[in-house]
Structure 1
């Protein structure tokens, strides 16, 4: 999971093309996750003690506060950044957590899932990335299993950018609320970004309500990337996973 700042030109066009994306990290060979710490001095946090993703197990029961999603606006654009497909949102969508307000910036996808639950991996995981005014991060993760076609994703899938570095403005925008499951029971733990620079201190929320996506939808995403884009689970160490 990472935040990518996009400079978008030509506000009245539906497509913007950038040059191909190049990166010093990836998911295979010399750029694989096991080598991230050695690829760049800025990635030293990737060997930290509170890294994400994790296998969610041996949880501790707690009185977790209900999640408060005050989502009021829609999706804005979609980009293939070479590592994932990312959907950016218009301002005005807020998550209240720990007495703080976190604004929804984007969601992106991983296949297979990065976090696992009791050792189970899912074919697709969505990360809804939020940031506070102070720059603190909160990520809400939604798991997808193979099943029925997901209507919430259908319009997004019609606009999947096939070329890395390409951004499309979404002519048919989706309400941010449509990507949040009805049931909001969740697991909670502290972790990190799951991509370089692997910054720690990220508030992680993994929703228990598993969603469905069709085999065709899942294949469309995996075929687009041509490779898995999940970081392997990391040691939990001394962390506590609450539910």
Structure 2
């Protein structure tokens, strides 16, 4: 079993962007978001960047975006507590795709923040899921889904059953998870250009934030926050003239 877990961790580590792995930055204390740029010379965009995420989505320009074109068929294979979030990773040859600007982006991993990082009209949701994709050129697109407390989420429950309680622990997922069921039925969304919300805060990320939330139970939310021990959301960042479209 230990060998399986090591293999699972290597699968996650090998295919995910470097920003997903644990390091000495934090969400609180001397290594909190306002100090990220001081921790590492590579983190200067966390302070100097002009297209940083998350943001408050208040006004949006009507661009008549088409609903998201997704083709998610595979189940994540492993789950890791990297000390910053709970993250589920997919097999390297998985074919879960979202098409943006006629370009295919492959789903790499999903992870969670509570409370939400992006806000809508100044409102934080209970939790936010980030579905991180990459295209053949290495460009990143994040599909963000808001969660509000209400009915329990059956697919989330499958993930949470395997949630590692301690940082740097991972486990193989034994149940298949239908990623489509973690999405709202209505895939209309807001779109803007932003960044990673964790160091090194790299910019040029395509953000697509779903307009409609899904639900999780108060108990499911508590299970996540009890494992994290603290909020794991970066504060909203200035728009600096960026346009949000819908």
TM (norm. structure 1) is 0.91
Distance 1:209 1:22, change over 3 A: closer
Distance 1:10 1:232, change over 3 A: same
Distance 1:168 1:99, change over 3 A: same
Equivalent residue for 1:68?
Answer: 69
Equivalent residue for 2:159?
Answer: 156
In structure 2, C-alpha distance between the alignment counterparts of 1:61 and 1:103, rounded to whole Å: 27
Equivalent position to 1:173, from 172, 176, 181? 176
Equivalent residue for 1:126?
Answer: 129
Contact kept in structure 2, 1:14 and 1:170, CA below 8 Å: no
- Higher helix fraction (1 or 2): 2
Deviation at 1:209, TM superposition (A): 1.3
Deviation at 1:66, TM superposition (A): 2.8
Q: What is the root-mean-square deviation of aligned Cα atoms in Å? A: 1.9
Equivalent residue for 2:44?
Answer: 44
> What per-residue deviation string (whole Å, max 9, x for no partner) do you get for residues 109-163 of structure 1?
0000000000000110000000001100000000011111111211111111001
In structure 2, C-alpha distance between the alignment counterparts of 1:66 and 1:185, rounded to whole Å: 5
In structure 2, C-alpha distance between the alignment counterparts of 1:31 and 1:213, rounded to whole Å: 30
Q: Is 1:232 matched up with 2:235?
A: yes
Equivalent residue for 2:189?
Answer: 186
Deviation at 1:13, TM superposition (A): 8.4
> What per-residue deviation string (whole Å, max 9, x for no partner) do you get for residues 48-104 of structure 1?
000000000111111213311011211110000000000112311000001111000
Distance 1:237 1:15, change over 3 A: closer
> What per-residue deviation string (whole Å, max 9, x for no partner) do you get for residues 191-234 of structure 1?
00000000000000000111111110000000101010000000
Contact kept in structure 1, 2:43 and 2:199, CA below 8 Å: yes
Equivalent residue for 2:99?
Answer: 96
TM (norm. structure 2) is 0.90
- Unaligned runs of 5+ residues in structure 2 are 11-20
- Unaligned runs of 5+ residues in structure 1 are 1-8
177-186 vs 29-38, which moves further: 177-186
In the alignment of these two chains, the number of paired residues is: 232
Contact kept in structure 1, 2:62 and 2:245, CA below 8 Å: yes
Contact kept in structure 1, 2:5 and 2:170, CA below 8 Å: no
Equivalent residue for 1:109?
Answer: 112
Contact kept in structure 1, 2:67 and 2:189, CA below 8 Å: no
